[in-house]
Amino acid sequence: MTEIVLFHHAQGLTDGVLAFAEQLRQAGHTVHTPDQYEGNTYATLEEGIGYAQETGFGTLLERALKAAEGYPSEVVYAGFSLGVMPAQQLTQTRPGARGGLFYYSVLPYTEFGETWPQGVPAQIHAKEEDEFYLEDAEGAQQLIAATDDVELFLYPGKEHLFADSSLPSYDEAAAQLLLTRSLTFLERL
């Protein structure tokens, strides 16, 4: 099966992120969940974003990239929201990357180079009215236009962290579909 490095969102390495990782493990995958927040979790998205701003996005990215050095290079990089930043950077720049799973967010691919790596597949998952995703929608469309290797899945609604079962924004039906599509993606690798 596939080895995955899964980066958490702005509220930290929550029970919901860990539960999602466990679902991937139950499907036979090896999943690593590095903690850029050094054990801190936050009850609200606003508090988590505050921590990220205080710590510095660059510092958090450095922590994530350093953590990835301890894993094999031939993995799938996955990230939830804030965790998409290191997941996408590693997918695009680390030789041997097998693919990317970007949940709730995506950056313009030009943030990490002039092109998307040929033959490296990825999926983007978001709610179609999520205010955070709407800020990224143009970057998602640019990425899709630049390669045939990236799929975009939009779900009805506006909840941001909808696949984290430990948060009020959890949407069970959408989260299950996201998981199913992710597992199908992983099976193709």
Q: What is the pLDDT of residues 169-180, one digit of tens each?
A: 999 999 999 999
- pLDDT, one tens digit per residue, over 7-61 is 999 999 999 999 999 999 999 999 999 999 999 999 999 999 999 999 999 999 9
Domain count, the chain: 1
Instruction: For residue 160, count other CB atoms closer than 10 A to its CB.
Output: 22
Q: What is the pTM of this model?
A: 0.98
Q: What is the CATH number of the domain that holds 44?
A: 3.40.50.1820
What is the sign of the dihedral through the CA atoms of 125, 126, 132 and 135?
positive
- Domain enclosing residue 130, as ranges: 3-188
